[in-house]
Amino acid sequence: MTETSRAVQRSPVAPVDCNLARAFEVIGDKWSLMILRSVLYGVVRFDDIQADIGVTKSVLSSRLKRLCDAGFLQKEGYKIKGERARIEYVASPMTHALTIPFIALTQWADHWLDEREGKPVRFRERRDNSDLRVALVNDDKRVVDLRDVFPEFSQTSR
């Protein structure tokens, strides 16, 4: 039996028009994501970031430059008495906004990739120390199950 030809299947939004694809382009490589993770955990100095994630100096330099140029990180100077002035890389508001997707990825990995009993990171509310989880919430502030979610594509999509 021969297979009849069929049209190539494509996603409803071309990658060039997809903001998720654009985000992957900017921060989708391992080292950029690891740098942003470290910065969000409070590791902000070049040598500390390097030691934290085990990246080479040249790769770290290039990724920090790219993340600064793209607006993810901001340089702030600091000086320890008796040493030369240095730079810290602090999270911009754009990077702070990644906290929710990063928590969601952490919780996804806790469920699908980690078989340990206790999880290495738990996210808590300051007010009462209760556990937090990422959820989709509708305009009425009701949590929506993923099975009830569907994408709606604009007319400009493919």
Tell me the pTM.
0.82
Q: What is the pLDDT of residue 118?
A: 82
Contact 77, 86 (CB under 8 A): yes
Residue type, 127: R
Q: What are the structure tokens assigned to 145, written together?
A: 């199950």
Residue count of the chain: 158
Q: Which of 37, 30, 39 is nearest to 91 (CA)?
A: 39
Residue 128, CA distances (Å) to 62, 117, 131, 141 in order: 41, 24, 9, 20
Q: What is the pLDDT of residue 104?
A: 95
Q: What is the pLDDT of residue 156?
A: 65
1 band by pLDDT with thresholds 50, 70 and 90: low
Distance CA 58, CA 70 (A): 18
Domains of the chain (ranges plus CATH)? 13-92 (1.10.10.10), 98-158 (no CATH)
Residue type, 109: A
Q: What is the pLDDT of residue 12?
A: 87
pLDDT digits (tens, 9 = 90+) for 19-66: 889 889 888 899 999 999 999 999 999 999 999 999 999 999 999 999
pLDDT digits (tens, 9 = 90+) for 73-132: 999 999 999 999 999 999 999 999 999 999 999 999 999 998 888 888 999 999 999 999
